[in-house]
Structure 1
């Protein structure tokens, strides 16, 4: 229906996971209900080495993921990081050592936190750390904006191999996400000028 929220995060994560043939995955949904989320999470933990959740990790009345994770006996290692986008991200360890990641609900936040954090952790679990590309790239068309936290900024790769910053209307800006080739990691307080670590959307 027109008033319903479209599921963009499920297809987005599926497309990134399909490029990782060493990962077997399954997708389930749950309503914004603590008992239902807890039940689905427990079922997933019983048969999985890692569980990814999207949405429900902030501070609202229906953000039940942190409570569900704790009720399942997991230890929360971090919840909220000094990053943008993706600050509400949650990381936990299940009672049998399973990785649990609660990704924020907005599409850009999901893409960035999975690519930067989730995929790195899955690589480590699969002992594929050396296979992940670490790139540095020159940024052009920079601006005078700074943030007092780690800033992941969407970029588009130009014909000469440089990165052009994309105008971004926030963590729900699917259009800019679709136009981007990846993102750069800007340290706190830094201008987006010079060479930066670059993370592309190629998850293979």
Structure 2
């Protein structure tokens, strides 16, 4: 089945993003200033374990339509970007200026436009799996308006914090064992905090 993963963004205005924008010694900043670096790698630096888990999982289990990536990053003001597309410092600065808010046209409009193109590429049987929070409408609202019941998420995400989700996704990617998915529409999107992950198998 055609499957594309939609990765929620790292904070482009958070502490680690500011470190990148202001650093004079960071190798990643140097890459951003001289030709660019893949957005997936940049967001992994800014979000650490959580984004690293999302990216590893999407790369392990994505089965995209021809011409698409299986790992699409929700990029503020840019819609959906393949995780391996390079960005530069100016791109990061511009994304930091766009609030991740479903009522913000600079965020919503390109996201909806790209979601419409993805919906056509997936055809009647493909699916888009959101690896990100479903507790608010900032991702779910614009995406579900276009993708409807083909927008899925892992129900085990409900109640988990970012670090727990990241660790779970990394573990699944390494084991080659995908999670179950359910449509976002009608799902329980808030839940009790699950038990902590046990030690990873050796």
Bin of the TM-score, shorter chain as denominator length: 0.3 to 0.5
**Alignment TM-score, normalising by the size of structure 1:** 0.37
> Quick check: which one's strand share is greater?
1
Structure having the higher Rg = 1
Structure with larger RCO (C-alpha < 8 A, sep 6+): 2
**Alignment TM-score, normalising by the size of structure 2:** 0.38
> Quick check: which one's helix share is greater?
2
